[in-house]
Structure 1
Amino acid sequence: MSAGTKSSTTSSIRVAVVDDHPVFRLGMVALLSTLDGMEVAAQASSVAEALDVVDGDVDVVLMDLELGDGSGVDATRRLVERHPALRVLVVTMHEDDESLVASVRAGARGYLVKGADPGEVERAVRAVANGEVILGAAVAARAMSFMAASRRMEPTVFPELTDREREVLDLVARGYDNASISRRLVLSPKTVRNHVSNVLAKLGVPDRPAAIVRARDAGLGLDT
């Protein structure tokens, strides 16, 4: 990785930009390169590239949620597992609660909607690098309520399922098809299909309608 023209110091924030849209990615790289105390350590356009170029020397990753070869949520989870000290700031077009919740649960420390002005971007990067969590107040309150409710039901509702499988089952029980679940959880359609297949197998049910019946009997898929 090139350090650019700036000299590397202990106070510099080393940033990686992960986005599959080259115009946005290069624009973000150009912006970050103008900020004092920051250097662009790497950039990537896919999950595979992100996993390859982001190492333990990177402080903050700016992560898009929709990448060409997969989900930024999955990329975030895998990077944070590899580098626990890494801070991920999601920068996305998605403003829905589900995308925010999925990102936070994967380990993201910040969530910024594309279209934020340069001052907001700089403030968010510095705050996340300093260990702060950057979320919009109203959205954050709803997200925390959502996750708290999810945690409360985990010990008793289908303990054989993973957290993600339980989320998928809940959306199945609400009547969402795989394409809708894919958009709401920012997962690839193939990943959603795999989760649904795993849920059916673990619950021992033959098809989706049977899984919906089981889920609703257990209290999933019901509006609160």
Structure 2
Amino acid sequence: MTEPVRVVIVDDHPIWREALERDLVADGFDVRGAFAEAEAAVRTAPAIRPDVVLMDLQLPGMSGVDAAAALVAIDPSVRVLMFSASGEDDDVLAAVKGGARGYLIKSASKAELLNAVHRTAAGEAIFSPGLAALVLGEYRRIGRDEPDPTAVLTDRETEILRKVSTGMSAKQIAEVLGVSHRTVQNHIQNTLTKLQLHNRVELTRWAIDQGLSD
């Protein structure tokens, strides 16, 4: 029997938080925690190991963007789905650059939300209509116009990408960096998702084209 997807909710509005938890549990998700502040989610994440974190953007204390970055740094396999009332371009791009796998506007229906969480858990990058084109366009703009084409990547993702471009395997990279094979694989998958690439061949070609080969 397949284990249910483990979800953590972070939203400072009690009504939203309770409704989300109720809907997710009713749909078969394993809600491991529902927090009003991001710090609590980041602090408990290593123990409860969520598959998906459903994160509000504007939070008291640590922001949703900073929390996403912190969660991904702790465990690169965690998938943060931003769930916010804001559809502003800057907010969306900041969230994705911070480590969010997707971005859903709070005007989404319950069915759309549940579907988005399922698909995020499966590794897809989910965005409300119109936002995916915005994110992809920004990646392309950065790759074409900016001096640093890896601006959307974390330092660790860039470090691993440089080694991938030389032909090193995930196992070899893990040994060099002193991390687990799984951690390296998760970083590679995150990078593929951010750059809208499909496999290591495309990733290696992209890195070489950008002059990232060690």
- TM-score between both structures, scaled by the size of structure 2: 0.64
2:78: which partner in 1? 86
Give yes or no for contact 1:47–1:70 (8 Å, CA) kept in 2.
Answer: yes
Q: Tell me if 1:15 matches 2:4.
A: no
Root mean square deviation of aligned Cα: 2.4
Query: Aligned letter for 1:85?
Result: S
Equivalent position to 1:99, from 87, 91, 110:
91
CA distance in 1 between partners of 2:11 and 2:95 (Å): 15
Q: Tell me if 1:119 matches 2:111.
A: yes
Unpaired runs of at least 5, structure 1: 1-8, 164-224
Figure out how many residues of one structure are paired with residues of the other and give that number. Answer: 152
CA distance in 2 between partners of 1:137 and 1:147 (Å): 17
1:48: which partner in 2? 39
Unpaired runs of at least 5, structure 2: 153-214
Deviation of 1:73 after TM superposition, in Å, equals 0.5
Give yes or no for contact 2:8–2:34 (8 Å, CA) kept in 1.
Answer: yes
CA distance in 1 between partners of 2:21 and 2:39 (Å): 19
Identity %: 36
1:75: which partner in 2? 67
Structure number, greater radius of gyration: 1
Correspondence 1:183-222 to 2 at 5 A: none
Deviation of 1:57 after TM superposition, in Å, equals 2.1
Query: Aligned letter for 2:36?
Result: S
* Secondary structure at the counterpart of residue 88 of structure 1: strand
* Secondary structure at the counterpart of residue 109 of structure 1: strand
Deviation of 1:44 after TM superposition, in Å, equals 1.3
Deviations, residues 158-200 of structure 1 (Å, cap 9, x unaligned): xxxx87xxxxxxxxxxxxxxxxxxxxxxxxxxxxxxxxxxxxx
